[in-house]
Structure 1
Amino acid sequence: MTSSDPLPIRRLTESLINKIAAGEVRLLPRFQLWHSTCPEIIHRPASALKELLENCLDAGATSIRVTVKEGGLKLLQIQDNGCGIRKADLPILAERFTTSKISTFSDLTKIATYGFRGEALASMSHVAHLSVVTKTKSETCAWKAHYLDGVLVEGKPGQTVDPKPCAGNDGTTIIIEDLFYNTPTRLAALKSTSDEYARILDVMTKYAIHNPKVAFVCKKVGSNTPDLSTPPNADKPQAIRMLYGNAISKDLLHASFGAKKVQEAEGVEDVEMADAEDTNRPESWSAEARFTNPNYQSKKMVFLLFINHRLVESPRMKRALENVYSGILPKGASPFVYLSLQIDPRDVDVNVHPTKKEVHFLNEESITDQITSRLQRALAAQSQSRVFEYQTLLTGGIADPSNALSKKRKGKQRAQDDDEEEGEEGDDGKTRPSPPKKTASQYKVRTSMQDRTLDSMFPVLNPTQIQGGDPGPASASTAPKPRLLREITESDCILTSVQTLRQAVAKGKHKQLSEILEKHTFVGIVDLHKGLSLIQFATKLYLVSHGAIAEELFYQLGLRQFGNFTRVKLQPAPSIRKLIEIAVELEEATEESGLTKPEIVERIADTLISRRDMLAEYFSMHITPSGKIESLPLLLREYTPNLDKLPALLMRLGPLVDWTSEKECFETFLRELAYFYVPGPLCEPNSSTTEDEEEEAQAQAQDKAERWQIQHIVFPALRRYFAAPKGLLDRDVVQVASLPELYKVFERC
């Protein structure tokens, strides 16, 4: 066998199949149970194309041609010049649990290709007519085979099912015809053929950017001109210019960095790209980024993310990158960002959700913070605009008010200070102490908590006024009085995993941001449903996401009280199966998990019931053997969470908690519990006016209670217990005003 010959395809042993199906992949870090039971998800032509493109690249192809008819529903043909498939392997090519990439269970820990189960063709053979034409370099002719429901079938009536010899080039051609012909519900859910073809072009464009050495061609049947064509042996800037236009390529910056690499930026001088702390970090990763400078802007962000060469989506990372540009570009403008991450395959988890919507990886927050800070530095070196420079200093430090004075004004101020120190000489020749210094108006700081807040500036209707009373501001005497928070002591815990998590919180504390939140003055809630509030610190005004901050606060409170929680009793105790069923019914696209909704409900319920002893001991979550939940942990005694979110909490605890490792289990469980405690309603309010006055009055009362808890319980708890992480600076805390700067504007008016 030569080096260019394909590896043989084998059936996995029954023992190995059972281990995977039984969840013994828990030996792999961050590997979820969903992965072991769900086949490749083919929900539209573009998803089928993505799987096949990855197979072509795995086969070492340098040329990939795609032909499409009616958006890929009538015909989707992918031809490559890779290593091909051996004739002897064709009979089992479309069967489940057949692969050329693993043979033993230990191979799972070191798989480095796009996948290992080889089930994309198996899935397609069940929903389409599948044909394969393939030829290896060592064979004299190509072989053609037809498949249906995973097995070989005859190409024409009267023929045998065996592969037939035919003419063909080296490589493999996959032909998918009549996609979803036997699943009319799925077919009806798809949009127009033009929309499906646009999705196909989008997938090919992104893979062409990431693989510029490979020639990609895509065209419709009957068309002489391809809609996408890239030459072989190009580079990424050339590919971006050809596929996205010169407007992007001329404003493109490049950076490469990693945990133990020094970032290099093109066109950026004297930018320090490697932090000293990076050399001591345990994680092993690297990244390459191509991103536009502040001169480019578009209506919609183009974000290409590849992790270990696989095209994925990460909403968290996308939001973080959007926030990098939010202080640079005008409102409504967006950038172009291409990002390729290389991470240890054992640390990547693509199965954190039943429908596989998200991808997570270890140290995600830390890696995201490092990437965004490096990009921000590179952009800062390119942008000299006042807006950008002001935004980069929003919460990076607490500026000395004297720094705002010019040199001339500093000299005058110093002379005045000297005169005041000397004192004044009276008529009797004696020197009397000078009067106390007056603070300039622009440096006066409000410190009284009794001063007027933002809410008091707007009239609030109470329920009686809504039902026909006179409108007017709500009486202050009717508002509940603030309570003194009870002291929350840290529990004694000897578990190494918990101690490690507590140390990580202490180590990640951002000193200056923690000081802002510790000594702030609450101004008011800007938008309850979007989770935005205003706070004041010194002479600066900050817009904060109280939802994101509260989520981190409740996580830290849960970690602080680990194993010693106060309980919230639920009477009567509801059935967890009923609650999970409510949440699963509201979840979209659950059929893509490969499980029915009752199966998903039962699996999550069994997971929680089987671990009820651990949940009761560590988290005070008591579940009966019959599946009734009797109590929940209380993170903050004076705070009542919104129990409407309980079904969603129980549903998320199934797939989103890593039950296979002690430290990750505690961390992910507390994260989900903190998400449940975040103040706010279950969903956004309907913009249409309700006709039910009673429901409207009830919603008003609920909003009022939420506002009171946020102001009088959540924010005071922030002052006492919160260790603010640096990540909040990127997206959740923004300076919106500075009193000295505002006075400068008024002086010019």
Structure 2
Amino acid sequence: MIFLNHNRILMSAASRIKALDASVVNKIAAGEIIISPVNALKEMLENSIDAGATHVDVLIKEGGVRLLQIVDNGSGIMKDDLPILCERFTTSKLTTFEDLNKIQTYGFRGEALASISHIAKLTVITKTKDDTCAWKTSYKNGKITSDSKPTAGKDGTVIIVEDLFYNIPSRLRSLRSSAEEFAKILDVLCRYAIHTDNVGFSCKKFGESQFSLNVRSEATRQERIRSIFGSQVSNNLISLDMQDNREYGIVENSGKISNLNYNIKKGIPAIFFINHRLVSCDPLRRSLFQVYSNFLPKGSKPFIYLSLVIAPANVDVNVHPTKREVRFLHEDEIIECISNKVQEELQKIASSKSFKPGSLVTNKLISIDNASPGTSSTSMNSAISKIKRQENKLIRTDSSQTKITNFIRSSQPKIHASFSTSIRTKPKPLLESDENTEIVPRRGTPEEEGHETLVGQNCSNNSRIIKSLLHNTYEVVQRERIDVNLTSIKSLKETVDNETHKELTGVFADMTYIGIVDETRRLASIQHGLKLFLVDYGSLCNELFYQIGLTDFANFGKIYIHDELENKEGLLLSSLLSRIDNLSSTNMDEIIKRLWNMKEMLDEYYSIELKGGDDSIQDVRINCVPLLLKDYMPPLSKLPFFIYRMGTKVNWGSEKDCLDGILKQLALFYIPEIIEHVDQDDVSVTQEIRTQAVSKTEYLSTVLEQVIFPTIKRRLLAPKGLLKDVIEIANLPGLYKVFERC
């Protein structure tokens, strides 16, 4: 006891109250604000967004301890402000305490850079739009270490933080591994990338060429989520929008939440932004998870992103050193409003589920993102990599896999029609004709304008039969690609871009082709994710070949034509047009004359070569047609109708309309022809016709699987008009609910 009392007397004598040294105070304050590299990153990131940056690049070394660099293209810092930049409580964002009631920016205390400078080596390079050069300044312990030096640089600010916690060894030892600290930084960046509109974000490790995160500034919210968390999340989202509620100070409430098809055991932590500030709000999180528990299987977790804008006067942002928490008025009432809205949206989904085919328009599909989703998705989903296998959510076919049938190149089957084609290097007739064949136009309905096809029929009173053999051979022509600068072509390309439906384009880019359903109605089936779709491949081909024609304008290959009956190059236009019903000789001559007058343009832009009309219009021959897609020959039975529509449906008086019209006719020409159904058990049908029908179907199936649909995956920008030609007919979770197995 005497020993203890003596010790107490000694402690009392040494415990006089005195003011702490300024350096100690600053280190303590810095330790409260900057706990780990991710806190430093968050403070600098918010400064960049406050400065109006449209792109933020982050470079990390050893988890942000050795190097943490952030580059933005914001407004920059004035040179006169650089001396006090890292002093505590210096800010441009508020003047009086009352300004906190209307604060609209992330930063407001003026402590972030000051705190960083006390525990790290800090360098700032900045340039405003009015400066002639950038200025480089270094800081230590809140003070500038040397005068600002002029240097080369772009508008904006570069902040370089090196050797974080170099003077606080205990804090340095408490940090986790470099990989874990980097994962924390990436997590915060991804959350801001999802929320912040019109700002692009990128992040990579020092010395690596591949980005861990890369989000375009113009990307939509759906695209940002897909780029970061992958299509498993973005495919199963619904929008959450609430009207403002002035009673509780709610100005705006929006977000993205997962539907009932998305449920995993180890979910992604909920993302909450209140007044555009990343915060954790446990009461709101628990309330929303409780709502989802009534709909999802036990233990499953939803995806929740929510942005809540509350009147600034109702929010206290100054309650936590790192600003990760805020307090707001009417908290219980606001949480109840949001929970009720989520409950309402989920009930709509649950009550509207049915087992009949649904239209594609009703579903939220994935989007095209030119960013690299794989890298950031891998990092962000590391926590959910070990997931229990769910048979009703298992995609058993990878759209990127190659089918074994693609390695089996069967010879082109013989098909009954009016022309014949073969590869000159190894002749194998593709289309054959006999003396009892004539070309007859098949009239379609008005809704199928341009989708008519010319088919061979047996007739006793047939007219003069075109017996010709069309050969094509692939030859590499050494010529440079022509750059087309026509305003009309650029305008047509812009129209295609503007009409693109990004979600539908994503479906086709990630699809798996299954097969033909009905060759008479031109229907095929494809799979995307867990869904099965029925598509009109005629409409798809029409759009595909139009876009190929527009992309390769004036750079087409050529398919040369040879008339073996007359042993001449090309086919007479008059002979082809004679196959069109009710076409007078006067109209026929007008069509030929119109095409002949435009022969130079047709040859230069479209590789449609016309010869022989110098002496007589009746002698005009078509020597070649354009090659739009290698390994695919257009249906040659449609050639007469192609010539006819070129002469009657194209507006030759307007440049844009003319070029567009010819491209549309080429696209119609290239659409696979309709194959009429032939009953193989009908004894009245000859064996020859039955065999030809089988050969045509087999050839069409091969071409669609190995040539056309792979090209659709690579090249098609699906327009909004194609939505009506794509119908969802089944999905795996729905089938499991009906049959409990597949």
Larger Rg over CA atoms: 2
TM-score range, shorter chain: 0.3 to 0.5
TM-score (normalised: structure 1):
0.42
